[in-house]
Amino acid sequence: MLSLNFSPFPNIETERLLLRRVDKKDVNEIFELRSNIETMKYIPRPIVKSIEEALEHIANIDEKIKANEGINWAITLKNDTRLIGIIGHYRIKPEHFRAEIGYMLLPEYNGKGIVTEAVNEVVNYGFNTMNLHSIEAIISPDNLASEKVLQKNGFIKEAYFKQNECFNGRFIDTVIYSLLKKP
């Protein structure tokens, strides 16, 4: 079985980005991300309605890290510490050496290759440091931008589930993309 330890917290640097720990100081940006209808369009989670709820979200991220059950990074540009997005490994299944990757970015930063760059490094961390065997991403079939990001990072479509999740009283389809660790 997989043994995880996210302490000390691992910052990750890419050519343009610094992926760092999400902090309470990021509350306004977390609120901006999680309350934005456009950002949340393909994410079947409740919209954050207050700064208090954004702080709860940060506390939840922290708890998962402390319990070694999940890890999230703030996506920042190297020349600016402001959080512009979040990326992480969720729903880690240690017994299967598998985790789900998820990410979101403030809309004004879309289309600049930022998520593709962050996914590449977070996937490397998952395979090389966490020792995962496979990583999955569960997306809306309508989220073509996310599909492109995953394909650029070598993910392949593994499954298309029809109306397998219920959110806000309606059934939605999901697509699973996955990537296996190269031998």
SS (H, E, C) the chain: CCCCCCCCCCCEECCCEEEECCCHHHHHHHHHHHHCHHHHCCCCCCCCCCHHHHHHHHHHHHHHHHCCCCEEEEEEECCEEEEEEEEEEEEEEHHHCEEEEEEEECHHHCCCCHHHHHHHHHHHHHHHCCCCCEEEEEECCCCHHHHHHHHHCCCEEEEEEEEEEEECCEEEEEEEEEEECCC
Is 90 among the domain residues? yes
What pLDDT does 183 receive?
86
pLDDT band at 1 (very low <50, low <70, confident <90, very high): confident
What percent of the chain is modeled with pLDDT above 90? 97
Give residue-wise pLDDT tens across range 41-80.
999 999 999 999 999 999 999 999 999 999 999 999 999 9
CATH of the domain at 33: 3.40.630.30
99 inside domain: yes
Domain that holds residue 58: 12-133
85-122 pLDDT, tens digit per residue, is 999 999 999 999 999 999 999 999 999 999 999 999 99
- Domain count of the fold of the chain: 1
